[in-house]
């Protein structure tokens, strides 16, 4: 019995050895060296690929520092393809050879490496309120909104510029009145009882971001937008700091995020005078359909009938019966839609003039604007007049003066009556 088992194991070992030898002998090793055709210098990093009859890659390798390579080919009828950047790709038939040396020629159609021009792209800068930092060097989450994409947008306030243009920033208007307050939340609300409004920085100066109508005592009165006094046409960029690292600069005030607003400044060159205007129309959404006076009476009478009270002289039914002698008869004879009477066509007209320019030493930018908005409800309107003057004066390479002067006056009527 043991003799039979030994013979079976010996036979199996012989079969495995024969198969392994057959597989090893099926792969042929090809060596060689790749050099330049003009100088005979070795080429390092040349791609050497084995391709079959269908031009598909089977195996591959690269040359070393001396230009030498070694590759095991699966079929002697395949080919070897040699390619390198800036040189003409060359293909050689294996044909049973074990050594294949190749000379690669420069690709004159693509030019020499000396003809390659590298073009660098300047990275956009992001402001943190004090300095401008490249986006590549920023370690926090920042969303930037440039003025170029907002030039043709019919916006009259900064909150409209931000809405829907920055990830993680939610803008909710308290009411539809012109100049009404807004709630801006950066990555959600951070407090239950304390404030959740972000910190606003305009040209490095913090501004008040709390409601101006504190006399209401927290009643049902719509807030006033604290940033509605800024002319959107003066905005150069808006950078929104979302991470907690903003607290390293602004402290606890930056707990809910920071919105940094940079205004336009003068540029070296000719004096540019720009005047533009915008007109927009607004319309309130349609009202919810309600019952008229007669329809309401029929509904109430049907309700009383369902309750079993069908006596028209009862105190519960008399208000809904056409009885002119009853004192409340006229209450249900009028069909005035009071909400529809309060509505009107909203209209906004905006005018802006900008003068900017400067030389090597001094640059200036002056702008003035007027905005008038009539709300979609009667006696609701908003008016704003703004002026801004930015001056940069370079005394020397080490001394420079900057001045930011702004004036704004707004009038808001948000009580429909």
**Greater confidence, 262 or 319?**
262
Chain-centroid distance of CA 44 in Å reads 45
Q: Is 138 helix (H, G, I), strand (E, B) or coil?
A: coil
pLDDT-derived band of residue 116, with 50, 70 and 90 as boundaries? very low
Please list the residues that pair with 260 across neighbouring strands: 201, 239
Residue ranges of the domains in the chain? 24-114, 125-284+346-414, 293-326
pLDDT of residue 302: 85
In this structure, what token pair is assigned to residue 39? 């100088």
pLDDT of residue 226: 61
Q: Which CATH superfamily is domain 125-284+346-414 in?
A: TonB-dependent receptor, plug domain (2.170.130.10)
pLDDT of residue 24: 43
pLDDT above 50: residue 118: no
Asked if residue 106 lies in contact with residue 127, where contact means CB atoms within 8 angstroms, the answer is no
pLDDT in tens, 301-355: 888 888 877 776 677 777 777 777 777 777 777 777 888 888 889 899 999 999 9
pLDDT of residue 120: 44
**Greater confidence, 176 or 77?**
77
Asked if residue 27 lies in contact with residue 74, where contact means CB atoms within 8 angstroms, the answer is yes
Q: Give percent of the chain above pLDDT 90.
A: 17
Please list the residues that pair with 186 across neighbouring strands: 169
pLDDT of residue 10: 63
Q: What's the per-residue H, E or C state across 41-88?
A: CECCCCEEEEECCCCCEEEEEECCCCCEEEEEECCCCCEEEEECCCEC
CA distance 265 to 203: 11
Task: Return the minimum-mean-pLDDT range out of 36-50, 81-95, 120-134, 387-401.
Answer: 120-134
Q: Which of 272, 265, 203, 269 is nearest to 390 (CA)?
A: 265
pLDDT of residue 159: 78
pLDDT in tens, 346-382: 899 999 999 999 988 899 999 999 999 898 888 888 8
Q: Which CATH superfamily is domain 24-114 in?
A: Immunoglobulins (2.60.40.10)
pLDDT of residue 255: 82
């Amino acid at each position: 019995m043991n003799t039979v088992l030994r013979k079976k194991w010996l036979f199996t070992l012989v079969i495995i050895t024969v198969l392994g030898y057959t597989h090893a002998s099926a792969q042929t090793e090809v060596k060689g060296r790749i050099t330049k055709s003009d100088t005979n210098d070795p080429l390092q990093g040349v791609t050497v690929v084995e391709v079959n009859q269908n031009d598909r890659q089977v195996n591959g390798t690269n040359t070393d520092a001396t230009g030498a390579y070694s590759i095991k080919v699966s079929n002697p009828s395949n080919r070897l393809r040699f390619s390198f950047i800036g040189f003409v790709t060359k293909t050689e038939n294996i044909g049973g050879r074990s050594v294949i040396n190749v000379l690669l020629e420069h690709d004159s159609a693509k030019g020499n490496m000396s003809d390659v021009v590298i073009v660098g792209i300047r990275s956009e800068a992001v402001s943190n309120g004090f300095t401008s930092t490249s986006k590549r060097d920023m370690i926090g989450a920042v969303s930037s909104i440039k003025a170029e994409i907002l030039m043709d947008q019919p916006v009259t306030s900064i909150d409209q510029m931000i809405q829907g243009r920055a990830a993680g920033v939610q803008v909710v208007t308290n009411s539809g009145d012109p100049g009404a307050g807004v709630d801006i939340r950066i990555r959600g609300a951070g407090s239950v009882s304390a404030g959740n409004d972000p910190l606003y920085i305009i040209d490095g100066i913090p501004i008040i971001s709390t409601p101006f109508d504190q006399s209401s005592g927290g009643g049902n009165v719509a807030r006033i937008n604290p940033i509605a006094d800024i002319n959107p046409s003066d905005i150069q960029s808006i950078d929104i700091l979302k991470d907690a690292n903003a607290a390293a600069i602004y402290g606890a005030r930056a707990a809910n995020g920071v919105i940094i607003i940079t205004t336009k400044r003068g540029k070296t060159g000719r004096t540019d005078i720009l005047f533009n205007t915008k007109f927009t129309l607004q319309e309130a959404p349609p009202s919810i359909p309600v019952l008229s006076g007669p329809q309401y009476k029929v509904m109430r009478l049907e309700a009383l009938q369902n309750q079993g009270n069908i006596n028209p002289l009862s105190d519960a039914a008399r208000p809904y019966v056409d009885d002119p002698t009853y004192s409340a008869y006229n209450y249900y004879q009028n069909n005035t839609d009071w909400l529809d009477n309060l509505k009107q066509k909203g209209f906004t007209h905006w005018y802006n003039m900008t003068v900017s320019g400067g030389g090597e030493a001094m640059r200036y930018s002056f702008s003035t604007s007027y905005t008038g908005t009539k709300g979609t409800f009667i006696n609701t309107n908003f008016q704003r007049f703004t002026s801004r003057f930015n001056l940069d004066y370079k005394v020397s390479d080490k001394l420079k003066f900057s001045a930011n002067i702004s004036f704004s006056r707004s009038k808001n009527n948000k009580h429909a009556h």
